[in-house]
Amino acid sequence: MDALNNLMYGFSIALEPINIAYVFAGVFAGTIIGMLPGLGPISALALMIPITFSMEPSSGLILMAGVYYGAIFGGSTSSILLNAPGVAGTVATSFDGYPMAKKGQAGKALAIAAYASFIGGTVSVVFLMLVAPLLSKVAVSFGPAEYFALMVLGLTAVVSLSDKSLVKGLIAAVIGVMISIVGIDMQTGTERFTFGSINLLDGIDFLVVALGIFALAEVFYMLLRGGDSKEGPRNAIGSLKLTRSEVGEIAGPVSRGSVLGFFTGVLPGAGATIGSFLGYSMEKKIAKDGDTFGQGNIKGVAAPEAANNAACTGSFVPLLTLGVPGSGTTAVLLGALLVMGVNPGPMMLEQRPDVFWGVVASMYIGNIFLLVLNLPLIPFIAKILDMPKALLLSLILIFCMIGVYGMSFSVFDLLLLLGFGVLGLGMRLFGFPAAPLILALILGNIMEESMRRALQISGGDWMTFIDKPISLSLLVIAALSLTLPLIKKRRRKA
Amino acid sequence: MTRLNTNQWLALVLALVAAAYIAMAWQIATFPLPRPVDSDLFPKVLGFALLILSAFLFFEPPAPLAGADTIDPDAPRGPLLSTPWARVIVTVVAVAAYALLLVPLGFVLASMLLCVGLTVYYGYRRHSVTLAVTLGVVLGLYLMMTRVMDVYLPTGVLPF
């Protein structure tokens, strides 16, 4: 019962009073940030990085896990109450959640979201606990060529699943890698693209880019959309209680959604969005009352909620075992880990078991907090949505600025942040997805290093990427992930 | 000659960026010892990748602009400074000014000015609420960063 012992060890870390306080603070802050329209888990995590900077890695990651869960749940809250999903992962929740809110059953929808998230999260943590050690054993045998191929796959998967243009997704990824290699080349000491500025010698911090492209760009975008919040007065939230028959009704969708969500989350690029949509459409097909989906069916809230939370946990698998994030959000998490001095990867389980098992245990605790504390607090937390937009936008600006300055103490970085904010707005207006850029930014350096190390070992022979079966198959899957959507599109047009 | 569409304009700009990037990649100094891959290879690959992708973008039919349908059509009829684009530009200028004034004025004062100033500019009129919330958040952040997390923030003209 190795896993059980390790989990107990993890609990002993996560249950330290200070770490419990961090989980609580993380879940709470994440819920509030995730609830604000436009600000999703990526912004929430990026805003938290400066706070975790000075923490013990295990505590920092515990806080981050709480923020992540909280932000996803917060996103569901605004989906249900306002029909304004902050993130794509909670769009499916709004299909039935908002109609329920319009019928005066917002409380019930929120309660179902909380229960389903709790169960989805908890079930998937069990899977994570079982799958992650196995996968990291396989990953130990990975050399630089395999890593390079794996990262290429991670990038192409995220690009191929972005709902916008494939070409624009690839352009965003290339620009992300370009940004990542600014500074001194660690292998040769050569300066690259620093334009003679000493501020750029250390490269561009990913926090500057993440906050600029996501949070700041979101503020600009909201300003462009104009007006104050236009939605009318909301109905009362109503009771949070579920009847016994309702519990029985959602039990199936929640358990199916949890399993489906986890495995979708493990796949690079898929994540919460696909997981929740798959969960929703599967239930719609299975349910006898499938035709009432979209009109406020409780199963239509339960399934995507369980699936998106399970997928969030699933997405930790590639991050923690391979050190390769499969989504924009886990890319930001990877960045946060690197800032804290932790290198996730196959060796993490052995070298930093405190971090790994601490996080697993804190996920359990985070889920419990999400349920026990957030549920009764929902009516109060929902008041945040009444905050005037003008004030909110100004405060988000301050959070972004202090986040960057508190970490680098550099005015240059603040101006750079502004530049990335403008770039993010442009990308948003012209339909360039931001997730590939941020993932490429995080992976760019490691990708180049793996490529060069592989070529160093092979004496410059490029066939090394094709000769190795794992690397070859990963590259083939990467190529397929890009070409298949194109072929499908062509067929649909024909 | 027909007018260029949005994607074609973007493709041209990106192609120019790619060309400049490739030119710069060629100027990266070579490492004195021979190595299978030097510092310039990856940037060159990236530059050419961007160039090829911009060619693809040039021939891709443009989708409707993401923000076009949601940008408030009535807003431009108001005073020039309250049009949506003016709001973005003023915010960008204000944030740039904040970055430059952060050290001389100090975190608390600069942040208060930015937050209150922009909130009023965006049109929120309950000034007492603005002042109270801003003061609370800014001071709270300041104390948390400096006292709890030991992160230095500039004090500027204020004594603390």
What is the per-residue pLDDT across A296-329, written as a single tens digit (0 to 9) for each? 899 999 999 999 889 888 888 888 888 888 777 8
- Which residues 28-57 in chain B show a CB within 8 A of chain A? 28-29, 31, 35-39, 42-43, 46, 49-50, 53-54, 56-57
Of A237-241, A269-273, A433-437, highest mean pLDDT: A433-437
Domain count, chain B: 2
Distance CA A358, CA A352 (A): 10
Residue B46 maps to a domain: yes
- Asked if A397 reaches chain B (Cβ–Cβ under 8 Å), the answer is yes
Asked whether the predicted pLDDT for residue A290 surpasses 90, the reply is no
Residue in chain A nearest B149 by alpha carbon: A54
Q: Stretch B29-33: mean pLDDT, rounded?
A: 77
Q: B66 falls in which pLDDT band (50, 70, 90)?
A: low
Residue B72 maps to a domain: no
Q: Stretch B35-63: mean pLDDT, rounded?
A: 90
Of B50, B56, B119, which has the smallest distance from its Cβ to A390's Cβ? B119
Chain B nearest CA to A223, separation (Å): 6
Q: A233 falls in which pLDDT band (50, 70, 90)?
A: very low
Strand partners, A183: A192
Of A170, A181, A431, which has the smallest distance from its Cβ to B53's Cβ? A170
Q: Stretch A222-250: mean pLDDT, rounded?
A: 71
Q: Stretch B138-160: mean pLDDT, rounded?
A: 81
Residues with Cβ within 8 Å of B112's Cβ and at least 6 positions away in sequence, in order, are B134, B135, B138
Q: For residue A356, count other CB atoms closer than 10 A to its CB.
A: 27
Percent of chain A with pLDDT over 90: 14
Best residue of A166, A188, A392 to probe chain B, by most B CBs closer than 10 Å:
A188
Asked whether the predicted pLDDT for residue A460 surpasses 80, the reply is yes
* Cα distances (angstroms) measured from residue A467 to each of A146, A170, A448, A471, A479: 11, 26, 19, 8, 17
Is B66 in contact with A430 (Cβ distance < 8 A)? yes
Is A428 in contact with B111 (Cβ distance < 8 A)? no
Average pLDDT of every residue of chain A: 83
Domain check: are B31 and B89 in the same one? no
Residue B156 maps to a domain: no
Place of tokens 């505590």: A59
Asked whether the predicted pLDDT for residue A234 surpasses 70, the reply is no
Residue B154 maps to a domain: no
Residue B132 maps to a domain: yes
Q: Is A192 helix (H, G, I), strand (E, B) or coil?
A: strand
Residues with Cβ within 8 Å of A49's Cβ and at least 6 positions away in sequence, in order, are A207, A332, A335, A336, A339, A403, A407
- Which residues 81-140 in chain B show a CB within 8 A of chain A? 84-85, 87-88, 91-92, 95-96, 98-100, 102-103, 107, 111, 114-116, 118-119, 122-124, 126, 129-130, 133-134, 137-138
Is B88 in contact with A394 (Cβ distance < 8 A)? no
Residue B157 maps to a domain: no
- Asked if A175 reaches chain B (Cβ–Cβ under 8 Å), the answer is yes
The residue among A486, A492, A477 whose CA lies nearest residue A157 is: A477
Asked whether the predicted pLDDT for residue A230 surpasses 70, the reply is no
Residue by residue, DSSP assigns A103-148 as TT-HHHHHHHHHHHHHHHHHHHHHHHHHHHHHHHHHHTT--HHHHH
Q: Answer for the pair A240, A375: CB distance below 8 angstroms, yes or no.
A: yes
Distance CA A97, CA A423 (A): 34
End-to-end CA, chain B: 65
User: For position A447, what pLDDT does the model report?
Assistant: 87
In sign, the C-alpha dihedral spanning A81, A83, A85, A91 is: positive
Chain A nearest CA to B88, separation (Å): 6
Distance CA A464, CA A471 (A): 9
Q: Stretch A244-269: mean pLDDT, rounded?
A: 87
Residue that wins the pLDDT comparison between B73 and A107 = A107
pLDDT in tens, A148-191: 888 888 888 778 766 668 899 999 999 999 999 999 888 888 88
Domain check: are B90 and B130 in the same one? yes
* Cα distances (angstroms) measured from residue A134 to each of A42, A140, A309, A317, A345: 28, 10, 22, 10, 13
Give the residue numbers spanning the domain of B131: 78-148
